[in-house]
């Protein structure tokens, strides 16, 4: 007890500086999350409040079985979208960063800024742009198919290819964060490693594969986790590009949470699905850390 008093007397005043941030975090993040956890075990109404369901896991069980298992379909669609977009973003970001790294300092700065500019654009604007590109009548993608004599393709209205079109739009959007972070990480790698590789007769590809890629592993881990979370939470792009949902072909976990929470006002089911999403992200992030963790950072 005396040690706590001593610590509070010596350092307690310093916590006053972070108190506003702690209060903001508690009020707008921590308390809503904990309250959402409580609601996930209740039948909740804005007018009447919540009543506990029985059995206690009923909302979670119903989340997977309601509407002919549409939540399972949304999980599958989310996993497919995440697999392709995360893989593509990491590979494209790594390759572009590797291409601009040998350039002069002012050129690297120019390309970093140029590639990062799209990242400050609203996700809604990007989604609208791709919706116009994939318009089945006068979109740019339709124009290209007509140039090659192909029949019109219903990019966003055909259930068989709608999710593929959305995934393609995400892949073709430059991964700005990956390019900037990979470029910064590569710039911190000591040149001695590359000079030693030159003495051993290594070619550029061998140096890239055996030096650059392993030494940016910690950055790769961060980006993989970051892009995985973003892909699991995809909503704006789908909501803007295919507002109707094309049946269940483009349903994802977050679109289901939105539909149950803000259209059906079934907050218990929506909260349960949100915590299923949290559990999936946490589990995948755990395995990503185990697979990509590194003791070397640059």
Is 90 exceeded by the pLDDT of residue 170?
Answer: yes
Q: What is the mean pLDDT of residues 250-258?
A: 93
Q: Kindly list the distances between the CA atom of residue 187 and the CA atoms of 104, 220, 234, in Å, as whole numbers in the listed order.
A: 12, 15, 32
Q: What is the pLDDT of residue 258?
A: 93
pLDDT tens column, 101-137: 988 888 988 988 888 887 788 888 899 999 999 998 8
Q: What is the pLDDT of residue 7?
A: 76
Q: What is the pLDDT of residue 290?
A: 87
Handedness of CA 189, 192, 193, 195 (dihedral sign): positive
Q: What is the mean pLDDT of residues 178-197?
A: 92
Q: What is the pLDDT of residue 63?
A: 87
Q: What is the pLDDT of residue 297?
A: 55
Could you tell me the two tokens for 151? 């029949």
Sequence-ordered list of residues with C-beta below 8 angstroms from that of 190, at least 6 positions apart, any chain: 298
Is 70 exceeded by the pLDDT of residue 295?
Answer: no
pLDDT tens column, 29-65: 999 999 999 999 999 887 778 889 888 889 999 888 8
The mean of the pLDDT values for the chain is: 89
What are the beta bridge partners of residue 42?
A: 52
Q: What is the mean pLDDT of residues 152-158?
A: 88
What's this model's pTM, rounded to 2 decimal places? 0.89
Q: What is the pLDDT of residue 120?
A: 82
Could you tell me the two tokens for 120? 């400050």
pLDDT tens column, 255-277: 999 999 988 889 999 999 999 99
Rounded Cα distance between 211 and 94, Å, is 13
Q: 57-292 adopts what CATH topology?
A: MetI-like fold (1.10.3720)
Q: Based on the number of CB atoms within 10 Å of its own CB, is 191 exposed (0-12), middle (13-18) or buried (19 or more)? A: exposed
Q: What is the mean pLDDT of residues 134-142?
A: 89
């Amino acid at each position: 007890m005396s040690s706590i008093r001593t610590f509070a007397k010596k350092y307690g005043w310093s916590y006053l500086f972070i108190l506003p941030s702690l209060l903001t975090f508690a009020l707008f993040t921590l308390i809503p999350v904990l309250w959402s956890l409580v609601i996930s075990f209740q039948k909740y109404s804005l007018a009447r409040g919540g009543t506990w369901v029985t059995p206690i896991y009923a909302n979670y069980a119903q989340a997977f079985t309601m509407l002919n298992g549409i939540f399972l379909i949304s999980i599958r669609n989310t996993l497919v979208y995440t697999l392709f977009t995360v893989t593509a973003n990491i590979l494209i970001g790594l390759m572009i960063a590797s291409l601009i790294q040998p350039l002069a300092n002012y050129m690297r700065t120019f390309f970093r800024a140029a590639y990062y500019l799209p990242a400050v654009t609203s996700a809604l604007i990007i989604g609208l742009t791709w919706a116009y590109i994939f318009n089945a009548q006068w979109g740019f993608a339709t124009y290209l198919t007509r140039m090659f004599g192909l029949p019109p393709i219903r990019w966003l209205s055909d259930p068989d290819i709608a999710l593929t079109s959305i995934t393609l739009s995400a892949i073709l959007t430059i991964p700005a964060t990956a390019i900037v972070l990979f470029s910064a990480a590569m710039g911190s790698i000591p040149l001695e490693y590359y000079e030693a590789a030159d003495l051993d007769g290594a070619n550029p590809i061998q140096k890239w594969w055996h030096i650059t890629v392993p030494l940016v592993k910690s950055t790769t881990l961060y980006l993989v986790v970051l892009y995985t979370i973003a892909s699991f939470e995809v909503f704006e792009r789908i909501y803007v590009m295919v507002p109707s949902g094309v049946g269940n072909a483009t349903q994802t976990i977050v679109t289901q949470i939105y539909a149950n929470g803000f259209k059906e006002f079934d907050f218990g089911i929506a909260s349960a699905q949100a915590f299923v999403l949290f559990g999936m992200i946490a589990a995948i992030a755990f395995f990503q850390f185990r697979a990509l963790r590194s003791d070397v950072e640059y």
